[in-house]
Amino acid sequence: MTSGYMIAGYLLTWGALLTYVWRLSVREQRTRRALDAERTALN
Amino acid sequence: MGKTQKILGFLALLLFIIGSVVGLFIVRADAAMGDVQRLMYVHVPAAWLAMLAFFIVFIMSVLYLVQRNPRWDLIAASSAEVGVLFTALTLALGSLWGKPTWGVWWTWEPRLTTTAVMLMIYIGYLAVRSFADDPDKRARWSAIVGIVGFIDVPIVYLSVYWWRTLHQPPSSPRSVAPEILFALLLNLLAFTVVYVYLLMRRYRLAVNERELERIVAHHTRQISHD
């Protein structure tokens, strides 16, 4: 009966953490690319 | 990504998988509450780690104001972001646990309310950072918010003792079955490693963002001189 809430909770936990890691990766790539472009423009 | 970070990421994933398997399949379900009690293995560690994250924000904010080293500011900001994630998760998991046990998704009960206030404070902390353009001003303002805002964290912890209402106080290790305690501590370890991993990655990103900001500012100054 209560297993639906339990499954939802674990899916939410995994989903939230994996989404955050994915968003971090996107931000890391974007920042690195922008840094490279700015450094090239300075030189 | 550095080697240490990769190893930590792998360890975090491994521990999190083991923790979830133990919490979901190995430990017996609670006789009174049934399967929903298994949410304790993610709800409680998420709450503890949220508080630890904000304690780190507090310490780093104090260190920044004393030493004015930008490193402390960037660690504080990184920890605040991860703490917001854990706090939101704590509230959502608590709501999923509350519905079948208390009969409501949400109630303005002291522990829940003070936790919601804590979430708002640290969302505010992140908002303050996005408003200030000058890095020094941003660091100074957010350090003040990080110190003053921390007042709510012990209130969240003590709320279940001060106002004995719906949310139960933490159970003593002596009153909990050993297998439940083991699963809880294992998941707490998994969440701690996940926190350290996320903090490390977010900090590296913050360092790069700061460097980018510095170069762009330098570039803009050069253009305006020309």
Q: Which residues, at least 6 apart from B80, have a Cβ–Cβ distance to it below 8 Å?
A: B53, B54, B57, B122, B125, B126, B146
Residue B182 and residue B201: Cα distance in Å, rounded? 29
| Residue B37, both tokens | 């009690």
**pTM confidence score:** 0.94
> Of A8, A13, A31, which is closest to B208 when you measure between CB atoms?
A31
Task: Tell me, yes or no, if B220 comes closer than 8 A to chain A by beta carbon.
Answer: no
Q: Is the pLDDT of residue A25 over 90?
A: yes
**Residue B1 — very low, low, confident or very high, per pLDDT cuts 50/70/90?**
low
Model-level ipTM above the cut of 0.90: yes
pLDDT tens digit sequence for B166-197: 888 877 777 788 999 999 999 999 999 999 99
| Residue B172, both tokens | 């003593």
Q: Is the pLDDT of residue A1 over 80?
A: no
Determine how many CB atoms are found less than 10 A away from the CB of residue B175: 7
Per-residue model confidence (pLDDT) at position B170? 79
* Partner-chain contact B215 A39, CB within 8 Å: yes
Task: Tell me, yes or no, if B196 comes closer than 8 A to chain A by beta carbon.
Answer: no
Instruction: Kindly give the interhelix angle for B135-148 and B178-225, rounded to the nearest 10 degrees.
Output: 150
The CATH number assigned to the domain with range B3-225 reads 1.20.120
- List CB contacts (< 8 A) between B35 and chain A: 2-3, 5-6
Residue B168 and residue B177: Cα distance in Å, rounded? 17
Specify whether the CB–CB gap between B148 and B122 falls below 8 A.
no
Per-residue model confidence (pLDDT) at position B91? 98
> Of B97, B205, B216, which is closest to A28 when you measure between CB atoms?
B205
